Chain A
Amino acid sequence: MKRFFPSGQTLLTAIPYGWLLLFFLVPFLFVLQISFSEVEIASPPYRPLVEFADNLINISLNIGNFTFIAEDSLYADAYLSSLKVAITTTVLCLLLGYPMAYAIARAEESRRNTLLMLVMLPFWTSFLVRVYAWMGLLNNEGLINQLLLNFGFIQEPLQLMHTAFSVQIVMVYTYLPFMILPLYANLVKLDGRLLEAASDLGCKPWEAFLKVTLPLSKNGIIAGSMLVFIPAVGEFVIPELVGTPEALMIGKVLWMEFFDNNNWPMAAAVTTIMLALLVLPIVFLHRREERMLAQAAARH
């Protein structure tokens, strides 16, 4: 491939490479650095790690932020509840999204594009708008409560907003398209003859599904699950707008440490731990995506 770009290839590569190194990778080093710093009333509000005075270089590493996180159960609870919400969201998105992706992949070719666009459309329209739409529905005077009251199912409005339920349903709602798209991309490539063969050999449809379709769509399931799970762990907007003040999620804790408490070192420490939790799933997702792209490239 050398002859395609004999000169300037390195230079051209350096532009986006440099951008991402500087603005995406290097910042994590500063997060790590500041997580070992102490909060100070200054601008910016933290003490530098390296200080130079009287011919002495003072390097002070403060592990206080991390020991504080370890000791105060608020943080552990927030990490755990974020993981729990993220896992539940992933499972629910899979249960709802798999049949949809499957049905679209098996639809007539002329209709697939339209159906797929119907899945994509909510993703394109504003995320905030989608969360806000649920605020109106789940409200005590909202449509769901009004309907239930009018039909006499309940006498008093149910408390739907600011509960674990509201967080969960809005999370599933906003993340669902991320599950459907990779699943669809995988299922649409499934060779229908395999299912015919299974059926000829006496498999019932559900048996064929369990033995052929499901194992073959493993890559799509993994990709979709990662695309939902990883960002869901750090979700801030949804717990902030529809969540409970008690059950904190870690994204909101980070936000509060930074914006409300002005405690940048603590926010950085919370971020460092979250990054440590997420780096493995991200690498795992990336490896799989690259392998799939390499296979696609080999076919052309």
Chain B
Amino acid sequence: MSQKISWFGKTSLGIGFFFLYAPIVILMIYSFNASKLVTVWGGFSTHWYGELFRDEAVMSALGLSLKVALLSSVMAVALGTIAGMVLARFGRFRGKSLFAGMITAPMVMPEVITGLSMLLLFVQMQQWFGFPEERGVLTIWVGHVTLCMAYVTVVIRSRLVEMDRSVEEAAMDLGARPMKVFFVITLPLIAPALASGFLLAFTLSLDDLVITAFLSGPGSTTLPQLIFSRVRLGLNPEINALATITVLVVGTLVIVANRVMARAEKKRRLLAA
């Protein structure tokens, strides 16, 4: 099935990748623009990066976003791993298809719907139980966990489905208890999936705007909310600098993770062969 890519394939890949990358590259170039007018070139400068790091609103929003992303992705990986095991290993049970449906739906559901409905739940809970007292980090965290766990579940589940189960079965035949099988055999085997699930959850949480807007309260402004409120007013050279840093950091992380996992996968295949 492998062969040289045809000229048609090359052209469509060329056009496609140009379309995907040109806007980002141009945005990055203009972040080094000395002029305050983003689109008029006024010479090379790193002025806006300095401004960015001195901008306290940006720094505190970044701090909050990182905190929420870390807390959300840890919980999402925990819940997503259990959910993945339930769907891939527990066989049939009543209500399974509803469960699987609730995993698929948050990934495609327009975020305005998820955000509004979750907010109405919290408001109702507040009236009934007095908890959560106000919207803030806790409510944002619940929203992000719900969204991210769906993605983590899909990653873990597909890994578990593809995985060779003979080792797990051998361990069980030798009398290992299920918990031991899970922690000693299954968990190390799905470690790469856990890592990519974590990375996915972390970046999704870091990037989420719409659900956060519904669930955040006064005094809990995340980075995407801050960017959004500024970008609404028009182009802003500081945002170009911030975007450039985001792209570089996330890009490097993803490329490194991808390389590491590709190598692990290759090694695993060699060992299995």
Contact = CB atoms under 8 A, between A and B. Distances in A.
The answer to whether A and B belong to the same complex is yes
A83 interface: no
Contact of B111 (A107, A108, A234): A234
23 contacts: A4-B168, A4-B172, A5-B90, A12-B85, A21-B102, A23-B121, A27-B118, A27-B121, A28-B117, A96-B12, A99-B8, A108-B2, A119-B20, A120-B254, A124-B200, A128-B224, A134-B23, A141-B39, A143-B26, A236-B112, A241-B231, A268-B120, A271-B112
Interface string A1-33: 111111001001101110111111111101100
Interface string B216-250: 00000000100110011001000110010011001
Contact of A282 (B40, B104, B158, B162): B104
Interface string A37-73: 0000000100000000000000000000000000000
B105 to A, nearest CB: 6
A23 B146 contact: yes
A14 B254 CA distance: 33
Interface string A97-122: 10110111011110001010111111
A21 to B, nearest CB: 7
B86 A271 contact: no
B5 interface: yes
A132 B231 contact: yes
A226 B108 contact: yes
Main secondary structure of the interface of A (DSSP, over half): helix
Given A4-B178, A126-B246, A293-B158, A96 B16 contact: yes
Interface string A258-276: 1100001001100100110
A103 B243 contact: no
Interface stretch (A148-156, A214-222, A284-292): A284-292
B17 A118 contact: yes
A237 B86 contact: no
A235 B97 CA distance: 27
Contact of B39 (A143, A234, A268, A286): A143
A201 interface: no
Contact of A234 (B30, B110, B239, B254): B110
Nearest 9 A/B pairs, CB to CB: A234-B110, A103-B9, A99-B12, A27-B117, A192-B1, A133-B23, A16-B83, A27-B121, A1-B91
Interface string A168-198: 0000010010000000000000111000000
B165, B172, B207: residue with the most chain A Cβ atoms closer than 10 Å = B207
B95, B124, B164, B224: residue with the most chain A Cβ atoms closer than 10 Å = B124
A226 B88 CA distance: 24
A268 B243 contact: no
A85 interface: no
A252 B129 CA distance: 32
B91 A2 contact: yes
B102 A25 contact: yes
Interface size class of A (residues with CB under 8 A): 35 or more
B137 to A, nearest CB: 16
Interface residues of B, number: 104
A234 B210 CA distance: 11
A245 interface: no
A251 interface: yes
Contact of B247 (A28, A129, A300): A129
Contacts of B116: 31, 254, 258, 267-268, 271
Interface in B155-209: 157-158, 161-165, 168, 172, 178, 181, 200, 203, 206-207, 209
Nearest to B258: A117
Interface string B69-103: 00000000001101101101111010101011111
Given A27-B121, A143-B39, A254-B116, A230 B109 contact: yes
Contacts of B5: 103, 106-107
A237 B104 contact: no
A16 B15 CA distance: 42
Contacts of A258: 116, 214
Contacts of A104: 13
Contacts of A103: 5-6, 8-10, 12-13
A128 B231 contact: yes
Contacts of A22: 121
B20, B105, B120, B231: residue with the most chain A Cβ atoms closer than 10 Å = B120
